[in-house]
Structure 1
């Protein structure tokens, strides 16, 4: 069975009643002097030892003890005794209150020292208040005096330093503090002595049933930084907006709710719209408005809606703007990019790029391509005419002349025979020129048909084919020639033409021709054919690559050799050029691919 513990003030009250009965039974209560002394002692002890409201029992007990004695006394004696007991109760009660208050403060100080330490409490960088349930600040630290003011007041009330607009909420937080034991991250505004405002973040902890310690962190520096950051963001936003406005691209920024966050000036110029009136309105509504001035606007808005609903992007949609009030005829490329970042998730960036000039250029290129194809067709027709209509009569005439010279050589006068031989030479040259022209115009290569070519073997075959041409000349070939991609027959003709020309136009007793190579830019090799001949004047270094151009007409040939060499190199995706100084020989450089090449659109018409 659990033992019952009676409160000590109940035991004390019972003892007083027993003592009162004892005194009554002994008859001592009829002595007024002794009655006053005993009653005063009871009152003093009970008021000092008991707390409110139990201290009220003291005068009540004294009156209970004195009741029998007062019953038989004259009323002045009873009244004086009553006043005496009341006075003693008030004086001793006040002394007891002061005694208990000092004891309570010592208890709070001990708890503070256990929780914070005296030094930490006073020197904390945050405001520290010891506060009770009613909102009275019983103690403040040094930081509170510095930030709030009131340097001569050790105590405050929440109505004095909490902003009126925050006061009701603060009282609710105060009740929650004493109910739950602590509160955290409560924002409020404190008032200073000079009526200034201080924003703080509060956390508090209960230390007794009636007291708590409140810690307030000054947010002034944080708010100042936040303000500066907001100003910086605004400045950057204005900078970005001004930058977007400077673009010749119509831009629409859409937020996560599908509303227009920003539209630049170019958008208004493209479509004749007032962009400011659309900010904050649904982006799809703006795009529907734009579709009304587009050719095939229904198809445009249908694709845009589909992209918006699916959360997908729209890429490279070409639209044409009809001319009208405040707008010009344009060709625009529309794209819509959804944003996946955390800050703007669900937003989009829509833009219209003006491709009017590009589309005009494409149209011009298509027209140029058409003209080139017509020129190629005419060139093929010309080539057919050269091959048949011109070459066949020339060969027929050459055949007649050769027949006359062979059958009537002895009977033809010398002067006539010389004229016939001169005509035969001219016709033979004409036939070779027509053959070179036909080969030149027909030379078109498909890079997909290129094959690896071992240049070491190829140049060995070229040396053997040149045969007597190399008699009396020195041809220097490297031993480590690489493998390239191309057409073996044409590459053989390229090297043979360059080596043959280096010997044919050489003025030295012993012509020397050197072939070399090295890796070049990207996926190409650089080759060269160098001779020790007379050299080429600078003004002819480009002219010699033109068709039927000859610097020395005393030499046999049509002047098409270097033109054909250039065509072979270009058909392999490379280029050829010459460098020379008069009297120091000439060097012909050209590039060939290491790997198969892709050529752009070309034409025979050049």
Structure 2
């Protein structure tokens, strides 16, 4: 009985292929991938676009199981889904609401959209599957999502900028105005001791406003920066920076340790000085809290990147603030000096270098601020090569 059923199936398949030779010629001209599959999952017909899409030679897919095109981890469940379709055949989109992937002959995967159509004939029931490679659409979608996120980030930064201009810049102006009136009263009354106190407060407020304006200008320049790319020795620029920051290091009782084997990277030397200067000064402001403060330059390497970090032995940073501190005008301690712009500048400059910036830290265990340098960076088109 089984042999009779098997021979009947084979005859039906042969008749299907023979009767549909003209159909095969037509579907070969269709721009989408098309295959016809029987109840057992055997591929009976396949057009040229399907073969091209999955990397097969002409006729190579015919006779194979449909599951050869399904990711390995989904093959077992796919057999049941295929059987369910033949039990209740209807025109439908496969996998609505979730990502589908197909496996090419070389084992790589591509994102696909699949439409299923039942095909009832006098010789049996089949399914016609229309397959579309949506790799380019996925790339476009990702680009749109990234562009949307960037616009949202710019909007957020603009809101923060407006707040800073209206609040942070206003605060030192209000302070100056108040103490200028006190200066006038003290001068008229001959209270010279109070006069000096008011004058110092006005100077401090003006200094604060100057710092904020300077940092805002620095930040705005990173948005339209043209990099002059050369080979930059990180050991060299950090060694020179240590000399320039000597008085600040001495004041904070801090020791800056620099290895002599840091990588030579491709980048804008001036901007990379800005990156490490911001990170070291940040460590001096927020982490130099003991009698012996250590700031150490550390490094790691993998196949594609160099990671260089500024490590301190300070109080550390809770994990919920690790991303926040790189946002514009964000500071963990408002009692410390600074405008909350430095780490945002670091993040932007590293982005222009094809890298990124992040922090690893735990409370009471110090913090390491990392920057990543790709070994084969992809610089913006407006970048200038500094080597002539």
Q: 1:410 to 1:455 in 2, by over 3 A?
A: farther
Structure 1 partner of 2:237: 458
- Which whole-Å CA distance do the structure 1 matches of 2:194 and 2:227 have between them? 57
CA distances 1:400-435 after superposition (whole Å, capped 9, x unpaired): 959x69x95993565576455434423321221122
- Which whole-Å CA distance do the structure 2 matches of 1:579 and 1:261 have between them? 57
Structure 1 partner of 2:290: 508
Shift of 1:588: 1.3
Count of residue pairs brought into register by the alignment: 268
1:579 aligns with 2:360: yes
Counterparts of 1:546-557 in structure 2, within 5 Å, are 546-557=327-338
CA contact (8 A) 2:325 2:332 kept: yes
Structure 1 partner of 2:201: 422
Structure 1 partner of 2:52: none
Q: 1:233 to 1:565 in 2, by over 3 A?
A: farther
Counterparts of 1:37-436 in structure 2, within 5 Å, are 231=10, 234=13, 255=25, 260=26, 358=137, 365=144, 408=187, 411=190, 418-419=197-198, 421-436=200-215
- Which whole-Å CA distance do the structure 1 matches of 2:300 and 2:33 have between them? 55
Structure 2 partner of 1:23: none
Shift of 1:483: 0.6
CA contact (8 A) 2:327 2:344 kept: yes
1:570 aligns with 2:351: yes
TM-score by length of 1: 0.35
Structure 2 partner of 1:532: 313
Shift of 1:579: 1.5
What do you get for the CA RMSD once the two structures are aligned? 5.4
Structure 1 partner of 2:273: 492
CA contact (8 A) 1:578 1:588 kept: yes
Q: 1:518 to 1:267 in 2, by over 3 A?
A: closer
Shift of 1:541: 2.1
Structure 1 partner of 2:260: 479
Q: Which runs of 5+ in 2 are unaligned?
A: 1-5, 35-129, 383-388
Shift of 1:526: 0.7
2:315 alignment partner, SS class: coil
1:433 alignment partner, SS class: helix
Q: 1:430 to 1:476 in 2, by over 3 A?
A: same
- Which whole-Å CA distance do the structure 1 matches of 2:11 and 2:234 have between them? 67
Shift of 1:266: 7.9
CA distances 1:452-475 after superposition (whole Å, capped 9, x unpaired): 111121111111110112223222
Q: 1:535 to 1:232 in 2, by over 3 A?
A: farther
- Which whole-Å CA distance do the structure 2 matches of 1:495 and 1:483 have between them? 15
TM-score by length of 2: 0.53
- Pick the aligned partner of 1:590 from 366, 371, 382: 371
Shift of 1:447: 7.3
CA contact (8 A) 1:448 1:596 kept: no
Q: 1:586 to 1:410 in 2, by over 3 A?
A: farther
Structure 2 partner of 1:558: 339
Shift of 1:528: 1.1
Shift of 1:436: 0.8
Flag the structure with larger Rg: 1
- Which whole-Å CA distance do the structure 1 matches of 2:280 and 2:208 have between them? 22
Q: 1:410 to 1:476 in 2, by over 3 A?
A: farther
Structure 1 partner of 2:104: none
Q: 1:253 to 1:265 in 2, by over 3 A?
A: same
CA contact (8 A) 1:450 1:596 kept: no
1:536 alignment partner, SS class: coil
- Which whole-Å CA distance do the structure 2 matches of 1:263 and 1:546 have between them? 54
Shift of 1:543: 2.0
Q: Which runs of 5+ in 1 are unaligned?
A: 1-226, 242-251, 269-350, 602-606
1:512 alignment partner, SS class: strand
Shift of 1:482: 1.4
CA contact (8 A) 2:307 2:370 kept: yes
